[in-house]
């Protein structure tokens, strides 16, 4: 069931898990009194979650710019939950103690206390969720897309105009250089041994 209360989206759902999730460890208990390594006690422990059922309450809290808080997800379990464990233990090497009841009771009570202190009403877990809740600054579409397209087209047109101007300037400069080279090619200063025949002149023979 979902409902809104004070601008917060809330939901409650029933959770029922019947499975075998096991965590097993093997270690050794070292006794260093009255001297180092007086005794070594092997310990094997396996903890399994066999059943979990309860009601999960989830809330989505939108961001508040005035308080500078982001979007958050809050979840908790109602106090009528059920959490069953299967705990197996093995202590010792030669004369072994198997499935000691006191060890099972101690571990189970610790696990229940750990869960109650973190996830059961009135306590809850709060997780920040950045950019998940719909916000105005993340909205795209409509007039913004048209404006972006117009800006892109304007930048492209300006780039084409600049390229055309640079091309025209390059053509004019190249033509001017070519004209200057042609004029210098046909212009040569006369030398002293150059002869210029005059019309109507007579050839004079200086030989005796």
The owner of tokens 């920040």 is 128
Compute CA distances 27 → 42, 75, 93, 112, whole Å. 6, 35, 12, 23
Kindly list the domain boundaries of the chain, sorted by start residue. 2-137, 140-171
Is residue 23 within 8 Å of 46, Cβ to Cβ?
Answer: yes
Compute CA distances 4 → 1, 15, 58, 61, 73, whole Å. 11, 22, 12, 11, 14
| pLDDT single digits (tens) 116-154 | 999 999 999 999 887 655 666 666 665 656 667 677 778
Rounded to two decimals, the pTM is 0.56
| pLDDT single digits (tens) 89-123 | 999 887 888 999 999 999 999 999 999 999 999 99
């Amino acid at each position: 069931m979902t409902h809104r209360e004070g601008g917060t989206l809330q939901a409650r759902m029933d959770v029922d898990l019947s499975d075998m999730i096991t965590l097993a460890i093997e270690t050794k208990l070292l006794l260093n009194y009255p001297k180092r390594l007086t005794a070594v006690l092997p310990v094997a422990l396996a903890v399994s979650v066999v059943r979990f059922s309860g009601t999960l309450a989830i809330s989505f809290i939108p961001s508040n710019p005035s308080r500078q808080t982001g979007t958050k997800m809050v979840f908790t379990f109602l106090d009528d939950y059920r959490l069953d464990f299967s705990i197996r233990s093995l202590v010792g090497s030669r004369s072994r103690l198997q499935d000691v009841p006191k060890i099972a009771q101690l571990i189970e009570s610790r696990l229940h206390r750990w869960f109650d202190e973190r996830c059961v009403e009135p306590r809850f877990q709060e997780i920040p969720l950045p950019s998940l809740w719909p916000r105005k600054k993340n909205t795209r579409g409509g007039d913004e897309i048209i404006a972006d397209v117009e800006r892109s087209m304007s930048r492209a047109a300006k780039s084409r105009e600049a390229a055309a101007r640079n091309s025209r300037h390059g053509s004019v400069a190249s033509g001017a250089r070519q004209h200057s080279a042609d004029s210098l090619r046909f212009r040569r200063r006369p030398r002293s041994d150059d002869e210029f025949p005059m019309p109507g002149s007579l050839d004079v023979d200086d030989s005796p």
